A and B are shown apart, each in its own frame.
Chain A
Amino acid sequence: MRKTMAMAVVLLVWCGSAWAKELQVGFVYVSPVGDAGYSYAHDQGRLALEAMGGVRTSFVESVAEGQDAERVITTMARKGYDVIFATSFGYMDPTLKVAKQFPNVKFLHCSGYKTAPNMANYFGRMYQARYLTGMVAGAMTKGNLLGYVAAFPIPEVIRGINAFALGAQAVNPKAEVRVVWTKTWYDPAREKEAAKSLLDAGCDVIAQHQDSPATQEAAQERGVYSIGYNSDMAKFAPKAHLTAAVWNWAPFYKEMIRQIQAGTWKADAYWWGMDRGVVDIAPFGPMVPEGVRAQVLAAKEAIVKGENNIFTGPIKDQKGVERVAAGVTMTDAELLAFNWFVQGVVGTLE
């Protein structure tokens, strides 16, 4: 009897230690993974973790922001997950609440601004990629009118639109960006209608801050160009798709897990950029001429080297008032609270 118990204890300890070595990592997505889009990009990062040793991952998709999120995150924490990535803005407060209840679990929240001793927040400098796609759009437009189908007027989206406009103006001072808000992240019918309204207004390149490729479809039907977002959307509109501003979460997720495994991880606010490969642009479509490609790649080089910070003055707002003085670069705090449009953007902020 004693022998069996001793064996059981040994077995338990052995199992326990083997189990402890494997890090359990959970992901919470706001939309279905699909095969393009915001959650898809995060899931590609998750798959990169799977390839690492000693990591087991799983995910829950289509989790509504708010109450549902809190329930899902709590369940994960209770089931013994070591690390939980909550990948949507609206998960911020639920994550914080759960993080306080489970001090031994590490939480990483994407696109928010709150931290706790065991909760980090992280995002990527997508505006750098937006700037480059803006350059492509500015170079390819014939009527100097660019359209932008956008989800919600929050700093993340506004920052992207501003960077896109500045990029377009860098190669084409006459470029104007028209913004239409859909007030939804994912409603293909409405996104397509919004894209068409921009095309009817005379826009000949349209970009999007939406999760579905409906905008790409609308551009291709009219025989004009489009700029994708989240991941390479060329397969949805091969004749229209110039390039896309894309996420690449793998380097960031791998580094976080490496630090957690090594015990050096800190609950910081991480905001990685193009220099570390978190954001990038998709391969150019065949219609983008060599000269434009070279110009954009040179700008990319400057961004990676830190020579071009994009939001460096002089920058004027919609009314022509100078908001950033010449030579001054906006701080991260200012970028994270962006609530005004640069000159050349036509649209409201409400």
Chain B
Amino acid sequence: MSWEWFLPIVAAAVQAGTPIFYATVGEILMERAGILNLGVEGAMLLGALAGFWTSMVTGNPWVGLAAAAAVGSLACLLHGVVTTVALANQVVSGLALTILATGLANFLGTPLIGLPAPGFDQRPLPGLSALPILGPVLFHQDVLVYASYLLPVLVSVGLRRTRFGLRLRAAGESPTACRAAGLSVLRLRLLACLFGGALIGIGGAYLSLAFTHLWTNGMTAGRGWIAVALVIFAFWRPGRAMVGAYLFGGVMAFQLRLQAAGTTVPSSLLLMLPYLLTVAVLAASSRFRGVAGAPAALGTNPEPSE
């Protein structure tokens, strides 16, 4: 067997990692502004539903994608308003969002189960797909995967090099200093919810529009929680989030392929791998870095004086 058997696994890792990657970057944006959002799982699911339903009704997956982004934004804005305007506990509000959104998505989505809808298919990029190794791995994917390659650059540059990015980070590091500079923490945090939520919604829609062209209740199947964990693994940096998401997708794809190749290792053990990896990664990253990189004001609400 040559080393080429490995390429499909890496390509599958990229695809399986993409929804988690979008959601992780969305969560990073929110957390950098100081909002801990445990509602990712729920917002993703609503995004998956909105994307699928809109694509089915309009026949255009791009409209579906826009709807998914809008619904993801709305869901996260709800969390934002509850925590920054009503000053509710962020952990409780996030968990409530997941419970509410999961229930709502399952209630609204039940009639859509098993129906077909147009989605995004794999389209090799002309030119780039002919590259050795990288071609089959990175450029035989669908358009949402290609778009996700731009995310780390866009988000990193946006956060580090633009005035808006600096302000957003200030809202997460020191809301007091932010306010002293005459900025509205509330506005900044709500904007973070808007952008972060859109990415989380797109992450969900990736599952129902690209990975499969189906909707089913609870189809995110825990990927939102993995995204929350990956934020810590990534030290709140989009580039590392990409590595983490692909690693996770890779372990998932690898265990299924081991089975298909006829391994004698029990599948129950193989199925534990992604979760073992999550625990190991969390333990390792807190052991070596502590919570270094975490926004100083993460999870705290701004003073009510605003």
Are A201 and B260 in contact, CB atoms less than 8 angstroms apart? yes
Are A212 and B214 in contact, CB atoms less than 8 angstroms apart? yes
Chain A CB within 8 A of B110 CB: yes
Segment with Cβ contacts to A, from B31-39, B65-73, B249-257 = B249-257
Are B110 and A217 in contact, CB atoms less than 8 angstroms apart? no
- Chain B residues, Cβ within 8 Å of A153: 267
Segment with Cβ contacts to A, from B85-93, B111-119, B145-153, B230-238 = B111-119
Complex Cα spacing A189 to B209, Å: 11
Q: List 27 A-B contacts (CB under 8 A).
A: A34-B113, A34-B114, A153-B267, A178-B262, A181-B259, A183-B267, A183-B268, A187-B216, A188-B214, A188-B219, A189-B16, A189-B207, A194-B260, A196-B8, A197-B257, A197-B259, A200-B8, A200-B12, A201-B261, A212-B214, A212-B216, A213-B214, A221-B121, A235-B116, A236-B116, A348-B265, A350-B266
Are B114 and A201 in contact, CB atoms less than 8 angstroms apart? no
What's the least CB distance linking B303 to chain A, in Å?
A: 43
Are B114 and A180 in contact, CB atoms less than 8 angstroms apart? no
Chain A CB within 8 A of B122 CB: yes
Segment with Cβ contacts to B, from A35-43, A261-269, A292-300, A325-333 = A35-43
Are B110 and A32 in contact, CB atoms less than 8 angstroms apart? yes
- Chain B residues, Cβ within 8 Å of A179: 259
- Chain A residues, Cβ within 8 Å of B256: 180, 182, 190, 193-194, 197
CB < 8 Å neighbour of B110 from A62, A192, A200, A201: A62
Complex Cα spacing A182 to B256, Å: 8
Given A192-B211, A235-B116, A348-B267: A180 touches B110 (CB 8 Å cut-off): no
Complex Cα spacing A188 to B221, Å: 10
By beta carbon, the residue of chain B nearest A39 is: B113
Complex Cα spacing A186 to B12, Å: 20
> In residues 56-89 of chain A, which contact B (Cβ within 8 Å)?
61-62
- Chain B residues, Cβ within 8 Å of A34: 113-114
Are B267 and A200 in contact, CB atoms less than 8 angstroms apart? no
Complex Cα spacing A37 to B216, Å: 12
Chain B CB within 8 A of A242 CB: no
Chain B CB within 8 A of A136 CB: no
- Chain B residues, Cβ within 8 Å of A348: 259, 263-267
Contact surface of B with A, Cβ cutoff 8 Å? 8-9, 12, 16, 106, 110, 113-116, 121-122, 207, 211-214, 216-217, 219, 221, 252-253, 256-257, 259-269, 271
- Chain A residues, Cβ within 8 Å of B113: 32-35
- Chain B residues, Cβ within 8 Å of A203: 260
Most A C-beta atoms less than 10 A away, residue of B257, B266, B268: B257
Complex Cα spacing A348 to B255, Å: 13
Given A34-B114, A62-B110: A188 touches B216 (CB 8 Å cut-off): yes
- Chain B residues, Cβ within 8 Å of A251: none
- Chain B residues, Cβ within 8 Å of A217: 212-214
- Chain B residues, Cβ within 8 Å of A154: none
- Chain A residues, Cβ within 8 Å of B257: 197, 200-201
Q: A34-B114, A37-B114 are in contact. List 19 more A-B contacts (CB 8 A).
A: A32-B110, A32-B217, A34-B113, A35-B113, A178-B260, A180-B260, A189-B211, A189-B221, A193-B256, A196-B8, A196-B12, A197-B12, A197-B257, A200-B8, A203-B260, A214-B212, A347-B259, A348-B267, A350-B266
Complex Cα spacing A347 to B263, Å: 7
Given A192-B212, A200-B260: A181 touches B121 (CB 8 Å cut-off): no
What's the least CB distance linking A27 to chain B, in Å?
A: 16
- Chain B residues, Cβ within 8 Å of A212: 114, 212, 214, 216
What's the least CB distance linking B89 to chain A, in Å?
A: 29
Are A193 and B264 in contact, CB atoms less than 8 angstroms apart? no
Are B262 and A347 in contact, CB atoms less than 8 angstroms apart? yes
- Chain A residues, Cβ within 8 Å of B265: 348
By beta carbon, the residue of chain A nearest B214 is: A188
Q: Which 4 A-B pairs have the closest CB atoms?
A: A350-B266, A34-B114, A34-B113, A201-B260
Given A32-B217, A36-B114, A217-B212: A193 touches B252 (CB 8 Å cut-off): yes
Given A189-B221, A193-B252: A213 touches B114 (CB 8 Å cut-off): yes
Chain B CB within 8 A of A337 CB: no
Are B267 and A350 in contact, CB atoms less than 8 angstroms apart? yes
Complex Cα spacing A203 to B8, Å: 14
Produce 1/0 per residue, A119-130, CB < 8 A to B.
000000000000
By beta carbon, the residue of chain A nearest B223 is: A189
Given A32-B110, A183-B267, A217-B214: A190 touches B262 (CB 8 Å cut-off): no
What's the least CB distance linking A34 to chain B, in Å?
A: 4
- Chain A residues, Cβ within 8 Å of B219: 187-189
- Chain A residues, Cβ within 8 Å of B115: 35
Are A193 and B213 in contact, CB atoms less than 8 angstroms apart? no
By beta carbon, the residue of chain A nearest B259 is: A180
CB < 8 Å neighbour of B114 from A40, A187, A189: A40
Chain B CB within 8 A of A198 CB: yes
By beta carbon, the residue of chain A nearest B258 is: A197
Chain B CB within 8 A of A48 CB: no
Complex Cα spacing A321 to B225, Å: 46
By beta carbon, the residue of chain A nearest B212 is: A188
- Chain A residues, Cβ within 8 Å of B264: 348
- Chain A residues, Cβ within 8 Å of B106: 62
Are A147 and B116 in contact, CB atoms less than 8 angstroms apart? no
> In residues 202-216 of chain A, which contact B (Cβ within 8 Å)?
203, 212-214
- Chain B residues, Cβ within 8 Å of A190: 221, 252, 256
What's the least CB distance linking B215 to chain A, in Å?
A: 8
What's the least CB distance linking B265 to chain A, in Å?
A: 7
What's the least CB distance linking B178 to chain A, in Å?
A: 40
Chain B CB within 8 A of A346 CB: yes
By beta carbon, the residue of chain A nearest B252 is: A193
Complex Cα spacing A244 to B271, Å: 28
Are B259 and A187 in contact, CB atoms less than 8 angstroms apart? no
Produce 1/0 per residue, A160-190, CB < 8 A to B.
0000000000000000001111110011111
By beta carbon, the residue of chain A nearest B262 is: A346
